[in-house]
Structure 1
Amino acid sequence: MRLKDKVIIVTGSTMGIGKAIAKRVVAEGAKVIVHGLEEDLAIQVVAELGAENARLHIEDLSNEGAVQRLVDLAISSWGRLDAIVNNAAVVAASTIDTTDKAFLNRMLDVNTIAPLFLIKAALPPLIESHGAVLNIGSINAWSGEHNLLAYSISKGALMTMTRNLGDSLFREHGVRVNQINPGWVLTEKEIERKREHGLADNWYKDLSKLFAPAGRIIWPEEIAAACIYWLSDESGPISGQVVDLEQFPMIGRNIPKDASTIPHK
Protein backbone atom coordinates (compact mmCIF):
# COMPACT_ATOMS: atom_id res chain seq x y z
CA MET A 1 0.00 0.00 0.00
CA ARG A 2 1.56 3.24 -1.19
CA LEU A 3 -0.19 5.53 1.34
CA LYS A 4 -0.31 3.25 4.36
CA ASP A 5 -1.28 5.11 7.58
CA LYS A 6 -1.28 8.54 5.93
CA VAL A 7 -4.10 10.99 6.72
CA ILE A 8 -5.32 13.05 3.77
CA ILE A 9 -7.89 15.81 3.30
CA VAL A 10 -9.61 15.76 -0.10
CA THR A 11 -11.84 18.77 -0.70
CA GLY A 12 -14.78 18.43 -3.04
CA SER A 13 -14.81 14.67 -2.63
CA THR A 14 -18.53 13.89 -2.71
CA MET A 15 -18.48 13.27 -6.48
CA GLY A 16 -16.37 13.31 -9.60
CA ILE A 17 -12.59 13.55 -9.45
CA GLY A 18 -12.57 14.21 -5.70
CA LYS A 19 -14.63 11.11 -4.93
CA ALA A 20 -12.36 9.01 -7.13
CA ILE A 21 -9.30 10.37 -5.29
CA ALA A 22 -10.85 9.69 -1.87
CA LYS A 23 -11.62 6.10 -2.87
CA ARG A 24 -8.17 5.53 -4.31
CA VAL A 25 -6.24 6.92 -1.32
CA VAL A 26 -8.21 4.67 1.05
CA ALA A 27 -7.50 1.71 -1.22
CA GLU A 28 -3.82 2.61 -0.89
CA GLY A 29 -4.01 2.51 2.92
CA ALA A 30 -4.79 6.12 3.88
CA LYS A 31 -7.45 7.68 6.08
CA VAL A 32 -9.41 10.49 4.46
CA ILE A 33 -11.45 13.56 5.31
CA VAL A 34 -14.34 13.67 2.85
CA HIS A 35 -15.54 17.20 2.17
CA GLY A 36 -18.25 18.78 0.05
CA LEU A 37 -21.59 20.53 0.02
CA GLU A 38 -23.87 17.62 -0.93
CA GLU A 39 -24.53 15.92 2.40
CA ASP A 40 -26.53 13.02 0.96
CA LEU A 41 -23.76 12.16 -1.49
CA ALA A 42 -21.09 12.61 1.17
CA ILE A 43 -22.81 10.18 3.52
CA GLN A 44 -22.83 7.60 0.71
CA VAL A 45 -19.11 8.10 0.08
CA VAL A 46 -18.24 7.68 3.76
CA ALA A 47 -20.43 4.57 4.00
CA GLU A 48 -18.65 3.12 0.98
CA LEU A 49 -15.20 3.88 2.40
CA GLY A 50 -16.05 2.74 5.94
CA ALA A 51 -16.32 4.82 9.10
CA GLU A 52 -12.92 3.56 10.22
CA ASN A 53 -11.34 5.10 7.12
CA ALA A 54 -13.26 8.32 6.54
CA ARG A 55 -14.67 11.35 8.31
CA LEU A 56 -17.10 13.86 6.85
CA HIS A 57 -17.18 17.65 6.83
CA ILE A 58 -19.92 19.59 5.02
CA GLU A 59 -19.18 23.29 4.60
CA ASP A 60 -18.51 25.94 1.99
CA LEU A 61 -14.74 26.47 1.98
CA SER A 62 -15.20 30.22 1.65
CA ASN A 63 -16.82 30.37 5.11
CA GLU A 64 -14.70 31.99 7.80
CA GLY A 65 -12.78 29.29 9.66
CA ALA A 66 -13.89 26.44 7.36
CA VAL A 67 -10.38 25.39 6.36
CA GLN A 68 -9.21 25.30 9.98
CA ARG A 69 -12.16 23.10 10.88
CA LEU A 70 -11.10 20.62 8.20
CA VAL A 71 -7.58 20.46 9.62
CA ASP A 72 -8.88 20.16 13.17
CA LEU A 73 -11.10 17.24 12.16
CA ALA A 74 -8.15 15.36 10.70
CA ILE A 75 -6.05 15.91 13.82
CA SER A 76 -8.84 15.05 16.26
CA SER A 77 -9.71 11.91 14.29
CA TRP A 78 -6.27 10.43 13.66
CA GLY A 79 -3.71 12.66 15.37
CA ARG A 80 -1.84 13.69 12.24
CA LEU A 81 -2.12 15.12 8.73
CA ASP A 82 0.09 13.99 5.86
CA ALA A 83 -1.42 15.58 2.77
CA ILE A 84 -4.14 17.79 1.40
CA VAL A 85 -5.75 17.64 -2.03
CA ASN A 86 -7.26 20.95 -3.09
CA ASN A 87 -9.88 19.64 -5.49
CA ALA A 88 -13.06 21.60 -4.67
CA ALA A 89 -13.94 24.13 -7.33
CA VAL A 90 -16.74 26.17 -8.81
CA VAL A 91 -17.05 25.59 -12.56
CA ALA A 92 -19.29 28.06 -14.35
CA ALA A 93 -19.29 29.62 -17.79
CA SER A 94 -18.58 33.32 -18.26
CA THR A 95 -17.16 35.73 -20.80
CA ILE A 96 -15.91 39.28 -20.38
CA ASP A 97 -19.48 40.42 -21.02
CA THR A 98 -21.04 38.22 -18.35
CA THR A 99 -18.32 38.34 -15.68
CA ASP A 100 -19.06 40.87 -12.96
CA LYS A 101 -17.07 41.51 -9.81
CA ALA A 102 -19.24 39.36 -7.55
CA PHE A 103 -19.01 36.40 -9.94
CA LEU A 104 -15.24 36.66 -10.24
CA ASN A 105 -14.84 37.05 -6.49
CA ARG A 106 -16.89 33.90 -5.87
CA MET A 107 -14.81 31.96 -8.37
CA LEU A 108 -11.56 33.13 -6.79
CA ASP A 109 -12.82 32.55 -3.23
CA VAL A 110 -13.39 28.84 -3.78
CA ASN A 111 -10.91 27.98 -6.54
CA THR A 112 -7.86 29.98 -5.43
CA ILE A 113 -8.17 31.68 -2.05
CA ALA A 114 -9.61 28.71 -0.11
CA PRO A 115 -6.79 26.38 -1.31
CA LEU A 116 -4.21 28.94 -0.21
CA PHE A 117 -5.65 29.25 3.27
CA LEU A 118 -6.18 25.52 3.64
CA ILE A 119 -2.47 25.10 2.95
CA LYS A 120 -1.73 27.76 5.53
CA ALA A 121 -3.99 26.15 8.16
CA ALA A 122 -2.51 22.71 7.45
CA LEU A 123 1.11 23.83 7.46
CA PRO A 124 2.02 23.00 11.10
CA PRO A 125 0.98 19.32 10.89
CA LEU A 126 2.32 19.05 7.34
CA ILE A 127 5.71 20.32 8.50
CA GLU A 128 5.69 17.71 11.24
CA SER A 129 4.88 14.89 8.82
CA HIS A 130 7.04 16.21 5.94
CA GLY A 131 3.78 16.15 4.03
CA ALA A 132 2.51 17.07 0.61
CA VAL A 133 -0.01 19.33 -1.08
CA LEU A 134 -1.61 18.39 -4.39
CA ASN A 135 -3.64 21.08 -6.14
CA ILE A 136 -6.13 19.98 -8.79
CA GLY A 137 -6.13 22.63 -11.47
CA SER A 138 -7.27 22.55 -15.08
CA ILE A 139 -5.72 22.77 -18.51
CA ASN A 140 -7.78 25.95 -18.77
CA ALA A 141 -5.13 27.51 -16.50
CA TRP A 142 -2.96 28.03 -19.58
CA SER A 143 -5.44 30.41 -21.25
CA GLY A 144 -8.87 28.84 -21.12
CA GLU A 145 -11.80 28.67 -23.44
CA HIS A 146 -13.51 31.91 -24.40
CA ASN A 147 -16.60 31.09 -22.32
CA LEU A 148 -14.66 30.03 -19.21
CA LEU A 149 -13.00 33.35 -18.46
CA ALA A 150 -13.39 33.65 -14.68
CA TYR A 151 -12.79 29.92 -14.12
CA SER A 152 -9.63 30.06 -16.23
CA ILE A 153 -8.36 33.08 -14.31
CA SER A 154 -8.86 31.25 -11.01
CA LYS A 155 -7.02 28.15 -12.23
CA GLY A 156 -4.19 30.20 -13.69
CA ALA A 157 -3.73 31.86 -10.30
CA LEU A 158 -3.75 28.44 -8.61
CA MET A 159 -0.99 27.27 -10.93
CA THR A 160 1.19 30.26 -10.10
CA MET A 161 0.55 29.65 -6.40
CA THR A 162 1.64 26.01 -6.78
CA ARG A 163 4.95 26.99 -8.36
CA ASN A 164 5.56 29.71 -5.77
CA LEU A 165 4.75 27.61 -2.69
CA GLY A 166 6.29 24.51 -4.23
CA ASP A 167 9.61 26.30 -3.97
CA SER A 168 9.24 28.28 -0.74
CA LEU A 169 7.47 25.70 1.41
CA PHE A 170 9.72 22.86 0.38
CA ARG A 171 12.86 24.94 0.75
CA GLU A 172 11.87 26.30 4.16
CA HIS A 173 9.76 23.49 5.66
CA GLY A 174 10.14 20.32 3.60
CA VAL A 175 6.50 20.41 2.45
CA ARG A 176 6.06 19.56 -1.22
CA VAL A 177 3.45 21.35 -3.36
CA ASN A 178 2.54 20.08 -6.83
CA GLN A 179 -0.38 20.32 -9.23
CA ILE A 180 -2.28 18.21 -11.73
CA ASN A 181 -4.15 19.95 -14.55
CA PRO A 182 -6.86 17.57 -15.78
CA GLY A 183 -8.27 17.91 -19.24
CA TRP A 184 -11.78 16.86 -20.19
CA VAL A 185 -13.04 14.41 -17.54
CA LEU A 186 -16.31 12.48 -17.48
CA THR A 187 -17.75 13.56 -14.13
CA GLU A 188 -21.36 13.74 -12.98
CA LYS A 189 -21.19 17.52 -13.21
CA GLU A 190 -19.93 17.39 -16.79
CA ILE A 191 -22.84 15.15 -17.78
CA GLU A 192 -25.22 17.57 -16.04
CA ARG A 193 -23.71 20.61 -17.79
CA LYS A 194 -24.02 18.98 -21.20
CA ARG A 195 -27.66 18.08 -20.41
CA GLU A 196 -28.28 21.76 -19.68
CA HIS A 197 -26.79 22.53 -23.10
CA GLY A 198 -29.41 20.30 -24.70
CA LEU A 199 -27.28 17.22 -25.34
CA ALA A 200 -28.45 13.66 -24.75
CA ASP A 201 -27.20 11.88 -21.64
CA ASN A 202 -25.04 9.57 -23.77
CA TRP A 203 -23.27 12.41 -25.65
CA TYR A 204 -19.89 11.16 -24.47
CA LYS A 205 -20.25 7.83 -26.28
CA ASP A 206 -19.81 9.33 -29.74
CA LEU A 207 -17.08 11.97 -29.64
CA SER A 208 -15.10 13.34 -32.54
CA LYS A 209 -11.42 12.45 -32.48
CA LEU A 210 -10.81 16.16 -32.97
CA PHE A 211 -11.77 16.72 -29.33
CA ALA A 212 -11.00 13.26 -27.94
CA PRO A 213 -8.32 11.37 -29.92
CA ALA A 214 -9.02 8.24 -27.87
CA GLY A 215 -12.70 8.36 -28.84
CA ARG A 216 -13.61 9.00 -25.20
CA ILE A 217 -12.74 11.48 -22.48
CA ILE A 218 -10.81 10.84 -19.28
CA TRP A 219 -12.32 8.92 -16.38
CA PRO A 220 -12.07 10.32 -12.82
CA GLU A 221 -10.34 7.10 -11.77
CA GLU A 222 -7.54 7.80 -14.22
CA ILE A 223 -6.89 11.18 -12.62
CA ALA A 224 -7.04 9.57 -9.17
CA ALA A 225 -4.45 6.98 -10.17
CA ALA A 226 -2.04 9.74 -11.15
CA CYS A 227 -2.55 11.50 -7.81
CA ILE A 228 -1.10 8.64 -5.78
CA TYR A 229 2.44 9.27 -7.01
CA TRP A 230 2.33 12.89 -5.84
CA LEU A 231 0.79 12.04 -2.47
CA SER A 232 3.15 9.16 -1.72
CA ASP A 233 6.80 9.17 -0.75
CA GLU A 234 7.61 7.86 -4.25
CA SER A 235 7.77 11.39 -5.65
CA GLY A 236 10.68 12.07 -3.32
CA PRO A 237 11.90 15.69 -3.34
CA ILE A 238 9.90 16.79 -6.42
CA SER A 239 8.06 20.04 -5.73
CA GLY A 240 6.66 23.04 -7.56
CA GLN A 241 5.65 21.01 -10.61
CA VAL A 242 2.53 21.21 -12.76
CA VAL A 243 1.53 18.19 -14.87
CA ASP A 244 -1.12 18.34 -17.61
CA LEU A 245 -3.25 15.22 -17.97
CA GLU A 246 -4.94 15.48 -21.34
CA GLN A 247 -5.06 13.48 -24.57
CA PHE A 248 -3.25 16.07 -26.65
CA PRO A 249 -0.61 18.77 -26.15
CA MET A 250 -1.98 22.12 -25.05
CA ILE A 251 0.83 23.95 -26.80
CA GLY A 252 1.50 23.24 -30.45
CA ARG A 253 -1.64 21.29 -31.21
CA ASN A 254 -2.85 21.66 -34.80
CA ILE A 255 -6.57 22.46 -34.81
CA PRO A 256 -8.30 22.14 -38.21
CA LYS A 257 -9.46 25.46 -39.61
CA ASP A 258 -13.07 24.32 -39.70
CA ALA A 259 -13.15 23.58 -35.94
CA SER A 260 -15.19 26.48 -34.65
CA THR A 261 -15.68 25.46 -31.05
CA ILE A 262 -14.27 23.06 -28.49
CA PRO A 263 -16.64 21.67 -25.84
CA HIS A 264 -16.23 22.88 -22.29
CA LYS A 265 -14.05 21.02 -19.89
Structure 2
Amino acid sequence: MRLRDKVIIVTGSTMGIGKAIARKAVAEGAKVIIHGLEEDLGLAVVQELGGENAKLHIEEISVDGATQRLVDLAINSWGHLDAIVNNAALVVPSNISTTDKAFLNRVLEVNTIAPFQLIQAALPFLTKSHGAVLNIGSVNAWSGEPNLLAYSISKGALMTMTRNLGDALIRENGVKVNQLNPGWVLTEKEIERKREHGLADTWYEDLPALYAPAGRILWPEEIAAAAIYWLSDESGPISGQVIDLEQYPMIGRNAPKDTSTIPNK
Protein backbone atom coordinates (compact mmCIF):
# COMPACT_ATOMS: atom_id res chain seq x y z
CA MET A 1 0.00 0.00 0.00
CA ARG A 2 1.51 3.26 -1.17
CA LEU A 3 -0.04 5.49 1.53
CA ARG A 4 -0.04 3.10 4.48
CA ASP A 5 -0.87 4.92 7.75
CA LYS A 6 -0.69 8.39 6.19
CA VAL A 7 -3.27 10.95 7.35
CA ILE A 8 -4.54 13.19 4.56
CA ILE A 9 -6.99 16.11 4.46
CA VAL A 10 -8.89 16.29 1.17
CA THR A 11 -11.00 19.42 0.79
CA GLY A 12 -14.05 19.34 -1.42
CA SER A 13 -14.23 15.56 -1.12
CA THR A 14 -17.95 14.89 -0.78
CA MET A 15 -18.11 14.47 -4.57
CA GLY A 16 -16.15 14.63 -7.79
CA ILE A 17 -12.36 14.66 -7.96
CA GLY A 18 -11.99 15.09 -4.20
CA LYS A 19 -14.13 12.03 -3.47
CA ALA A 20 -12.17 9.99 -6.00
CA ILE A 21 -8.88 11.03 -4.38
CA ALA A 22 -10.18 10.17 -0.90
CA ARG A 23 -11.38 6.75 -2.09
CA LYS A 24 -8.07 5.98 -3.77
CA ALA A 25 -6.09 7.21 -0.75
CA VAL A 26 -7.97 4.90 1.62
CA ALA A 27 -7.54 2.00 -0.80
CA GLU A 28 -3.80 2.70 -0.58
CA GLY A 29 -3.84 2.58 3.24
CA ALA A 30 -4.45 6.21 4.25
CA LYS A 31 -6.82 7.82 6.75
CA VAL A 32 -8.69 10.80 5.35
CA ILE A 33 -10.59 13.88 6.43
CA ILE A 34 -13.61 14.29 4.17
CA HIS A 35 -14.66 17.90 3.72
CA GLY A 36 -17.36 19.76 1.85
CA LEU A 37 -20.73 21.47 2.08
CA GLU A 38 -23.09 18.55 1.37
CA GLU A 39 -23.56 16.69 4.65
CA ASP A 40 -25.65 13.87 3.18
CA LEU A 41 -23.05 13.19 0.51
CA GLY A 42 -20.23 13.42 3.03
CA LEU A 43 -21.88 10.95 5.38
CA ALA A 44 -22.29 8.55 2.47
CA VAL A 45 -18.58 8.79 1.65
CA VAL A 46 -17.60 8.16 5.28
CA GLN A 47 -19.94 5.18 5.44
CA GLU A 48 -18.41 3.79 2.26
CA LEU A 49 -14.84 4.25 3.48
CA GLY A 50 -15.50 3.25 7.09
CA GLY A 51 -15.45 5.38 10.23
CA GLU A 52 -12.04 4.03 11.16
CA ASN A 53 -10.63 5.42 7.91
CA ALA A 54 -12.54 8.67 7.39
CA LYS A 55 -13.88 11.60 9.41
CA LEU A 56 -16.24 14.27 8.12
CA HIS A 57 -16.08 18.04 8.47
CA ILE A 58 -18.83 20.15 6.92
CA GLU A 59 -17.96 23.85 6.64
CA GLU A 60 -17.38 26.52 4.03
CA ILE A 61 -13.61 26.46 3.52
CA SER A 62 -13.22 30.26 3.46
CA VAL A 63 -14.90 30.84 6.85
CA ASP A 64 -12.50 32.17 9.47
CA GLY A 65 -10.91 29.27 11.33
CA ALA A 66 -12.23 26.56 9.00
CA THR A 67 -8.80 25.45 7.82
CA GLN A 68 -7.50 25.24 11.40
CA ARG A 69 -10.53 23.14 12.38
CA LEU A 70 -9.74 20.69 9.57
CA VAL A 71 -6.19 20.32 10.85
CA ASP A 72 -7.40 19.95 14.44
CA LEU A 73 -9.79 17.17 13.40
CA ALA A 74 -6.98 15.26 11.72
CA ILE A 75 -4.66 15.59 14.70
CA ASN A 76 -7.35 14.78 17.26
CA SER A 77 -8.44 11.75 15.25
CA TRP A 78 -5.10 10.16 14.39
CA GLY A 79 -2.33 12.18 16.05
CA HIS A 80 -0.43 13.28 12.96
CA LEU A 81 -0.82 14.76 9.49
CA ASP A 82 1.07 13.69 6.39
CA ALA A 83 -0.56 15.50 3.47
CA ILE A 84 -3.23 17.93 2.39
CA VAL A 85 -5.09 18.08 -0.91
CA ASN A 86 -6.47 21.52 -1.74
CA ASN A 87 -9.32 20.53 -4.03
CA ALA A 88 -12.34 22.61 -2.91
CA ALA A 89 -13.15 25.34 -5.43
CA LEU A 90 -15.81 27.58 -6.87
CA VAL A 91 -16.27 26.92 -10.58
CA VAL A 92 -18.41 29.84 -11.70
CA PRO A 93 -18.78 31.59 -15.06
CA SER A 94 -17.81 35.24 -15.38
CA ASN A 95 -16.25 37.63 -17.86
CA ILE A 96 -14.90 41.18 -17.87
CA SER A 97 -18.43 42.61 -17.80
CA THR A 98 -19.85 40.40 -15.05
CA THR A 99 -16.83 40.23 -12.72
CA ASP A 100 -16.97 42.94 -10.08
CA LYS A 101 -14.67 43.32 -7.09
CA ALA A 102 -16.89 41.43 -4.66
CA PHE A 103 -17.30 38.50 -7.05
CA LEU A 104 -13.57 38.28 -7.76
CA ASN A 105 -12.74 38.49 -4.06
CA ARG A 106 -15.18 35.67 -3.32
CA VAL A 107 -13.65 33.36 -5.93
CA LEU A 108 -10.12 34.16 -4.73
CA GLU A 109 -11.11 33.55 -1.11
CA VAL A 110 -12.22 30.01 -1.86
CA ASN A 111 -9.89 29.00 -4.68
CA THR A 112 -6.62 30.64 -3.65
CA ILE A 113 -6.63 32.15 -0.16
CA ALA A 114 -8.24 29.20 1.63
CA PRO A 115 -5.66 26.75 0.19
CA PHE A 116 -2.92 29.08 1.40
CA GLN A 117 -4.48 29.20 4.87
CA LEU A 118 -4.76 25.41 5.02
CA ILE A 119 -1.08 25.11 4.15
CA GLN A 120 -0.26 27.58 6.92
CA ALA A 121 -2.37 25.71 9.49
CA ALA A 122 -0.99 22.31 8.49
CA LEU A 123 2.66 23.31 8.11
CA PRO A 124 3.86 22.56 11.68
CA PHE A 125 2.56 18.99 11.37
CA LEU A 126 3.65 18.51 7.76
CA THR A 127 7.12 19.64 8.81
CA LYS A 128 7.23 16.88 11.44
CA SER A 129 6.16 14.25 8.93
CA HIS A 130 8.13 15.67 5.96
CA GLY A 131 4.76 15.67 4.29
CA ALA A 132 3.18 16.83 1.06
CA VAL A 133 0.83 19.46 -0.27
CA LEU A 134 -1.07 18.71 -3.47
CA ASN A 135 -3.03 21.57 -4.99
CA ILE A 136 -5.72 20.74 -7.52
CA GLY A 137 -5.72 23.50 -10.09
CA SER A 138 -7.03 23.61 -13.64
CA VAL A 139 -5.69 23.89 -17.16
CA ASN A 140 -7.55 27.21 -17.12
CA ALA A 141 -4.66 28.50 -15.00
CA TRP A 142 -2.68 29.05 -18.21
CA SER A 143 -5.18 31.62 -19.54
CA GLY A 144 -8.66 30.15 -19.32
CA GLU A 145 -11.75 30.74 -21.37
CA PRO A 146 -13.36 34.19 -21.79
CA ASN A 147 -16.36 33.16 -19.68
CA LEU A 148 -14.24 31.70 -16.87
CA LEU A 149 -12.34 34.85 -16.02
CA ALA A 150 -12.41 34.94 -12.20
CA TYR A 151 -11.96 31.18 -11.95
CA SER A 152 -8.96 31.28 -14.30
CA ILE A 153 -7.38 34.15 -12.35
CA SER A 154 -7.73 32.19 -9.11
CA LYS A 155 -6.17 29.05 -10.59
CA GLY A 156 -3.33 31.02 -12.10
CA ALA A 157 -2.60 32.50 -8.68
CA LEU A 158 -2.75 29.02 -7.13
CA MET A 159 -0.20 27.81 -9.68
CA THR A 160 2.22 30.61 -8.84
CA MET A 161 1.77 29.89 -5.13
CA THR A 162 2.55 26.22 -5.76
CA ARG A 163 5.81 27.04 -7.51
CA ASN A 164 6.80 29.60 -4.88
CA LEU A 165 6.04 27.43 -1.85
CA GLY A 166 7.31 24.34 -3.61
CA ASP A 167 10.73 25.95 -3.57
CA ALA A 168 10.55 27.57 -0.13
CA LEU A 169 9.00 24.75 1.90
CA ILE A 170 11.16 21.90 0.61
CA ARG A 171 14.21 23.96 1.62
CA GLU A 172 12.97 25.25 4.95
CA ASN A 173 10.57 22.54 6.16
CA GLY A 174 11.17 19.42 4.10
CA VAL A 175 7.60 19.70 2.75
CA LYS A 176 6.97 19.24 -0.96
CA VAL A 177 4.29 21.26 -2.75
CA ASN A 178 3.00 20.25 -6.18
CA GLN A 179 -0.08 20.83 -8.33
CA LEU A 180 -2.25 18.91 -10.76
CA ASN A 181 -4.04 20.89 -13.46
CA PRO A 182 -6.92 18.71 -14.67
CA GLY A 183 -8.63 19.39 -17.94
CA TRP A 184 -12.26 18.56 -18.66
CA VAL A 185 -13.42 16.00 -16.08
CA LEU A 186 -16.77 14.21 -15.93
CA THR A 187 -17.88 15.02 -12.38
CA GLU A 188 -21.35 15.24 -10.87
CA LYS A 189 -21.06 19.03 -10.86
CA GLU A 190 -20.09 19.10 -14.53
CA ILE A 191 -23.15 17.07 -15.46
CA GLU A 192 -25.28 19.43 -13.37
CA ARG A 193 -23.77 22.53 -15.00
CA LYS A 194 -24.45 21.20 -18.48
CA ARG A 195 -28.03 20.33 -17.47
CA GLU A 196 -28.45 23.98 -16.43
CA HIS A 197 -27.20 24.95 -19.91
CA GLY A 198 -30.02 22.91 -21.42
CA LEU A 199 -28.03 19.87 -22.48
CA ALA A 200 -29.25 16.29 -22.05
CA ASP A 201 -27.67 14.16 -19.31
CA THR A 202 -25.93 12.16 -22.03
CA TRP A 203 -24.13 15.17 -23.58
CA TYR A 204 -20.72 13.64 -22.83
CA GLU A 205 -21.36 10.53 -24.93
CA ASP A 206 -20.91 12.28 -28.28
CA LEU A 207 -18.35 15.06 -28.09
CA PRO A 208 -16.50 16.60 -31.05
CA ALA A 209 -12.92 15.36 -31.48
CA LEU A 210 -11.79 18.96 -31.06
CA TYR A 211 -12.66 18.77 -27.36
CA ALA A 212 -12.20 15.03 -26.77
CA PRO A 213 -9.65 13.53 -29.16
CA ALA A 214 -9.85 10.22 -27.28
CA GLY A 215 -13.63 10.09 -27.70
CA ARG A 216 -14.43 10.98 -24.09
CA ILE A 217 -13.36 13.40 -21.37
CA LEU A 218 -11.45 12.52 -18.20
CA TRP A 219 -12.83 10.59 -15.25
CA PRO A 220 -12.27 11.65 -11.60
CA GLU A 221 -10.59 8.31 -10.93
CA GLU A 222 -7.91 9.14 -13.48
CA ILE A 223 -7.05 12.34 -11.64
CA ALA A 224 -7.03 10.39 -8.36
CA ALA A 225 -4.59 7.84 -9.77
CA ALA A 226 -2.18 10.64 -10.59
CA ALA A 227 -2.65 12.24 -7.17
CA ILE A 228 -1.47 9.14 -5.32
CA TYR A 229 2.03 9.42 -6.76
CA TRP A 230 2.43 12.97 -5.50
CA LEU A 231 1.03 12.12 -2.06
CA SER A 232 3.22 9.06 -1.65
CA ASP A 233 6.91 8.70 -0.88
CA GLU A 234 7.45 7.53 -4.46
CA SER A 235 7.70 11.13 -5.66
CA GLY A 236 10.65 11.66 -3.33
CA PRO A 237 11.74 15.29 -2.90
CA ILE A 238 10.19 16.53 -6.17
CA SER A 239 8.58 19.88 -5.41
CA GLY A 240 7.27 23.02 -7.08
CA GLN A 241 5.93 21.13 -10.10
CA VAL A 242 2.69 21.74 -12.00
CA ILE A 243 1.41 18.82 -14.07
CA ASP A 244 -1.28 19.26 -16.72
CA LEU A 245 -3.69 16.34 -17.03
CA GLU A 246 -5.48 16.74 -20.33
CA GLN A 247 -5.65 14.77 -23.59
CA TYR A 248 -4.07 17.49 -25.73
CA PRO A 249 -1.29 20.07 -25.24
CA MET A 250 -2.33 23.21 -23.39
CA ILE A 251 0.50 25.32 -24.80
CA GLY A 252 1.12 25.60 -28.52
CA ARG A 253 -2.12 23.97 -29.68
CA ASN A 254 -4.03 25.81 -32.39
CA ALA A 255 -7.05 27.62 -30.99
CA PRO A 256 -10.40 26.11 -32.02
CA LYS A 257 -12.11 28.04 -34.81
CA ASP A 258 -15.65 27.31 -33.63
CA THR A 259 -16.48 27.12 -29.92
CA SER A 260 -20.22 27.52 -30.33
CA THR A 261 -21.12 23.84 -30.15
CA ILE A 262 -20.06 23.11 -26.58
CA PRO A 263 -20.58 25.26 -23.46
CA ASN A 264 -17.62 26.20 -21.29
CA LYS A 265 -15.57 23.54 -19.57
Specify the TM-score bucket, using the shorter chain as the normaliser. Answer: over 0.9
Query: Residue in 2 aligned with 1:4?
Result: 4
Shift of 1:261: 6.5
Task: In structure 2, give the amino acid aligned to 1:73.
Answer: L
Matched, 1:47 2:41: no
CA RMSD of superposed structures (Å):
1.0
- The whole-number CA distance in structure 2 between the counterparts of 1:258 and 1:177 is 37
Matched, 1:197 2:197: yes
Q: Deviations over 1:3-52 (max 9, x none)?
A: 00000000000000000000000000000000000000000000000000
The whole-number CA distance in structure 1 between the counterparts of 2:17 and 2:132 is: 18
Deviation at 1:57, TM superposition (A): 0.3
Structure 1: which 4+ aligned runs deviate by more than 3 Å? 255-263
Cα offset for 1:262? 5.6
Return the alpha-carbon distance in structure 1 between the equivalents of residues 87 and 146 of structure 2. Answer: 23
Q: Tell me which residue corresponds to 1:68.
A: 68
Tell me how far apart the structure 2 counterparts of residues 261 and 163 of structure 1 sit (CA, whole Å).
35
The residue that corresponds to 2:222 in the other structure is: 222
What is the one-letter code of the residue matched to 1:133? V
Listed as ranges, the matches of 1:144-223 within 5 Å are 144-223=144-223
What amino acid does structure 2 have at the position aligned with 1:212?
A
Matches within 5 A, 1:83-94: 83-94=83-94
Which whole-Å CA distance do the structure 2 matches of 1:207 and 1:109 have between them? 33
1:111 & 1:260 partners in 2: Cα distance?
28
Cα distance, 1:252 vs structure 2: 1.3
- How far 1:264 sits from its partner (Å)? 2.1
Q: Secondary structure at the match of 1:93?
A: coil
Query: Do 2:194 and 2:263's aligned partners in 1 also have CA atoms closer than 8 Å?
Result: no
The structural deviation recorded for 1:256 is 4.8
- Does residue 114 (structure 1) correspond to residue 114 (structure 2)? The answer is yes
Instruction: Give the TM-score taking structure 1 as reference length.
Output: 0.98
> How many Å separate the matches in 1 of 2:257 and 2:61?
42
Does residue 247 (structure 1) correspond to residue 251 (structure 2)? The answer is: no
Question: Does 2:102 align with 1:105?
Answer: no
Alpha-carbon offset, residue 102 of structure 1: 1.1
> Counterparts of 2:158 and 2:259 in 1: how far apart (Å)?
29
Gaps of 5+ in 1: none
Note if 1:17 corresponds to 2:12: no
**227 and 140 in structure 1: CA distance in 2 versus 1, 3 angstrom threshold:** same
Residue 180 of structure 1 aligns with an amino acid whose one-letter code is L
CA–CA distance in structure 2, aligned partners of residues 256 and 138 of structure 1: 19
State the Cα deviation string for residues 43-83 of structure 1 (Å, max 9, x = none). 00000000000000000111111000000000000000000
Name the SS for the 2:144 alignment partner.
coil
CA distance in 2, matches of 1:3, 1:23: 12
One-letter identity of the residue aligned with 2:32: V
Alpha-carbon spacing, 1:117–1:7, altered in 2? closer, same or farther (3 Å): same
- CA distance in 2 between partners of 1:103 and 1:42 (Å): 27
**Cα offset for 1:101?**
1.1
Tell me the SS of whatever aligns to 2:122: helix
Compute the displacement of 1:249 (Å): 0.2
Shift of 1:260: 4.9
| Per-residue Cα deviation, 1:205-246 (whole angstroms, up to 9, x for no partner) | 001111000110000000000000000000001000000000
The aligned amino acid for 1:90 is L
SS in 2 for 1:9: strand
Report the identity percentage: 81
**2:129 is the counterpart of 1:96:** no
- Distance across 1 between alignment mates of 2:256 and 2:29: 46
2:12, 2:88 within 8 Å by CA — same for their partners in 1? yes
Where does structure 2 lack aligned partners over 5 or more consecutive residues?
A: none
Which letter maps to 2:148?
Answer: L
Length-normalised TM-score, structure 2: 0.98
Matches within 5 A, 1:28-43: 28-43=28-43
Work out the CA distance in 1 between the residues paired with 2:233 and 2:94: 39
